[in-house]
Amino acid sequence: MRVIILGATSAIAEATARLYAKEGADLLLVARREDRLLAIRDDLLIRGAAKAEVAVRDLADPHGIEADFARFVAQIGGVDHIILAYGILGDQGPAERDPAQAEEILRINFNSAAAWTLAAAGALEKLGRGSLVVIGSVAGDRGRRANFIYGAAKAGLATLVEGLAHRFAGQGPRVVVVKPGPTITPMTESFNRKGALWATPEQVAAVVRRAADRGGPVLYAPWHWRFIMLIIRHLPTFIFNRMNI
């Protein structure tokens, strides 16, 4: 099993990589912080990974994405699974008033992620097999005042992934978007993270790992968010507008 993880220093990506390491997979970890990549690599080797290599890359940089992805595939000697797990939450309030901040949220969470998704899907199409799992968010299921810029980016990314899954239907490659609910990661450390609805990175990672083998094209993490978001999406507007969510 050869696995490329884009955004490998995120908490969910690291938890997912540990699951693959237990299976003895070959891993290529891609992110922009070399020190964190090396620390994660060493940990994964201890946990059983047959191979763990790193590639330092600012994934938000749009230049040379297709060529760099081909280089990643060559570095690890092929690819079976690809996990895309990076993004930023941003600050909704300032971003509403500052187009530059809004553009950064959209550029990183949609534009660059979409470009990597298309490059990865193209590689799988050439191989005629393999899986691509993209980590989205329940925030993209309905626009809410608290995070609609971030949510808009995640909604667009989910639509892209669903379209690719439809395109590959009945063929070898498979593409899945995993939509976590609120998760206890460094991205959410400024939130009040109490309550039963908060998930751990390990809980989400279990869904991501399963998604690479079966299910989809849309999976929620944990599973109960499918039903929560089904309700939220279908709330009448006059009720939804009274909710502070």
**Which residues are designated catalytic?**
150
Environment class of residue 93 by beta-carbon count within 10 Å: exposed (0-12), middle (13-18) or buried (19+)? exposed
Given a contact cutoff of 8 angstroms between Cβ atoms, the answer to whether 119 and 79 are in contact is no
Q: Is 59 helix (H, G, I), strand (E, B) or coil?
A: coil
Distance CA 40, CA 130 (A): 24
Residue type, 158: A
Distance CA 108, CA 88 (A): 7
Given a contact cutoff of 8 angstroms between Cβ atoms, the answer to whether 89 and 106 are in contact is no
Query: What does residue 87 show for φ and ψ, rounded to 5 degrees?
Result: 165, 175
Distance CA 96, CA 147 (A): 10
Q: What secondary structure letter does DSSP report for 168?
A: T
Return the residue matching tokens 């980590």.
Answer: 135
Given a contact cutoff of 8 angstroms between Cβ atoms, the answer to whether 161 and 136 are in contact is yes
